[in-house]
Amino acid sequence: MLYRSGENLFEETKKFCCNAEELWMYSPFIRVNKIKEILDDPRKCKAIVVRWQTMDLLVGVTDFEKLFNFCNDYNISLFRNTRIHLKAIRNEKNHIHFGSANFTNMGMGLNGNIELSGVNTDKNTEDINYLNSILADSKTDEITEDYYKALKIDIDEKKRDFKKIKIIKDKDIVCTVKKKFLLDSLPQSESPDRLWDVVRSGFNTKTYSENEILCAKHDIQSYTNEDFSKESKEEFLNKLASGFNTTPFVYELKFKVRAQLNYKMGYTQITKWISKTTLSVPTPSRHEIRDKRWVNRLHNWIPSLDQVNYKSEKRHKTDGGSGGTNLLHYIGNDHGNDYNNLSDLMNSLRINRKGGKSPHQFILLASINELVKNKKQDFSLIEIETEFSIQWSNAKKLTSRAKENFAMPMNALRGKLIKFNLINNEVNIQNYRSEIELKEKVESIKVRESLFKLFNSNTFTSKDILNFYNIN
């Protein structure tokens, strides 16, 4: 009998595993939460062979650290074979469960991919030898502790030039994530107020053009996908804001504005950033982005739906003409003053250029935690550097191949958790990774209120903070 996704595939796979005494698993993509559901006792599993191609790990289509830790916990041998595409389980009787489904939510879930599997009980020697040969070939790539650490370092280095937006939930490669960074994920209606007018009219074709109605329907589907016929404008805008402000493309742009030394970005800056960041194919030129008014609409949407933190300013030419450009300002006094514990703080850390949270960020936070014990919020660069060096020594196991540099994590935390006080506000910093340049141009840093309150209202130790690097 064949096992069909959405019908009996998951139950029959689980039954196969429950009836076995020993198991060997082969699958390109694996989610730990799914194999925990399949295996009644993980100790039955003697070995797992996973693909773990570089792109698999960069994109996040398969568990990496979670799977390694799971295998360690249950003494399961873990092997990497970048050529496997088969999905199979063999038991001690040499019965083989095989098919098209990865051991993931999309492979085994009720609402996942369309899959088909079955069981072979023939005990054919050639078939068994085939699976055993894959296992034997994979033993040169057994994922030991040292192998895992080296692989993780290699992957982290490759993430430097890889646009890691968000970990994908069990879908092969980048379709879902990519969609969120297409230009079509940005608003198409001229403003939230205009969108409300079109929606409130019932998409009246006599009042509004066909294009305006299509734009309005696009924005409703993108940010709310609800019926607003009985709601007030205030309720409508609140729900719209919730969906819009959490859109990855918009969130990244707002972060970019906050990260500027003067907390503002001009029209041309935003246009360049959109052209560089979007995953639309072919990549649109800056002229195309301007012609289609993507930036203009963002200037209307962002301040309207996040008035506490952003405003748009029309800057005219000095000769008094009608030309000029818009500036998008970050005006919030702080960003996020609701960290209840260390976990909240650590989860808020932004992914760095390598695609992960580097040890430098945790060491800098441990340093700041020590400094604010004196009830101060402003610190000189010398104070930061001195404490950072102390904490660096305490965290050698996190930094075996990293270079001690306190400037690197300061840029990652700048805007959200710390603020730079410049010696001369007219001078720009060219290289944030340069300790020498920061010492020349930054007089001090101020710890933002959110971070100051968290560290002052708790008794966290440096070790508590550094331990989160291993968790994350």
Instruction: Give the C-alpha separation, 8 to 237, whole Å.
Output: 44
The reported pLDDT for the residue numbered 165 is 44
User: In this structure, what DSSP letter does residue 415 have?
Assistant: T
Same structural domain, 308 and 414 = no
Same structural domain, 95 and 226 = no
Greatest CA span in the chain, whole angstroms?
87
Cβ atoms of 315 and 324 within 8 Å: the answer is: yes
The reported pLDDT for the residue numbered 174 is 39
Same structural domain, 348 and 371 = yes
**What are 261-266's contacts with CB under 8 Å, separation 24+?**
261/420, 261/422, 261/428, 261/429, 262/425, 263/329, 263/330, 263/331, 263/415, 264/313, 264/327, 264/328, 264/329, 264/330, 265/327, 265/328, 266/315, 266/325, 266/326, 266/327, 266/328
The reported pLDDT for the residue numbered 173 is 37
Same structural domain, 316 and 367 = no
CA dihedral 371, 377, 383, 386 (to 10 degrees): 30
User: 239, 258, 286: which is the final residue of a domain?
Assistant: 239
The reported pLDDT for the residue numbered 318 is 44
| Per-position DSSP letters for 276-332, written without gaps between them | HH---SSPPPHHHHHHTTHHHHHHHHHHHH-TTTEEEEEEE-TTS-S-EEEEEEE--
| Per-position DSSP letters for 239-260, written without gaps between them | HHHHHHHT-HHHHHHHHHHHHS
- What residues pair up with 24 in beta bridges, in sequence order? 47, 90
The token pair at 392 is 């660096």
The token pair at 34 is 């799914």
pTM of the model: 0.43
The secondary element (H helix, E strand) that includes residue 261 is none
Same structural domain, 399 and 443 = yes
Kindly report, residue by residue over 413-434, the tens digit of the pLDDT: 876 788 888 888 767 777 777 8
The reported pLDDT for the residue numbered 209 is 93
Cβ atoms of 310 and 303 within 8 Å: the answer is: yes
Same structural domain, 233 and 255 = no
Cβ atoms of 261 and 422 within 8 Å: the answer is: yes
Which residues span the domain enclosing 214? 183-239
The reported pLDDT for the residue numbered 163 is 54
Amino acid at site 249: F
The CATH number that applies at residue 271 is 1.10.10
* Residue ranges, the chain, pLDDT below 70: 110-111, 160-180, 228-229, 261-262, 315-325, 332-338, 348, 350-357, 397-401, 415, 426, 470-472
Same structural domain, 458 and 384 = yes
Query: What per-residue string of b and e applies to 287-321 under the rule 16 or more CB within 10 Å gives b?
Result: eebbeeebbebbbbbbbbbbeebbbbeeeeeeeee
- Cite the beta strand spans of 317-375 per DSSP E: 324-330
The reported pLDDT for the residue numbered 95 is 93
The reported pLDDT for the residue numbered 323 is 47
Kindly report, residue by residue over 128-182, the tens digit of the pLDDT: 888 888 888 887 788 988 888 888 887 877 776 665 444 444 443 334 445 567 8
Same structural domain, 382 and 420 = yes
Is residue 176 included in any domain, yes or no? no
Q: Work out whether the CA dihedral 72, 78, 80, 84 comes out positive or negative.
A: negative
Same structural domain, 231 and 95 = no
Same structural domain, 233 and 254 = no
Same structural domain, 145 and 26 = yes
Same structural domain, 304 and 385 = no
Domain count, the chain: 4
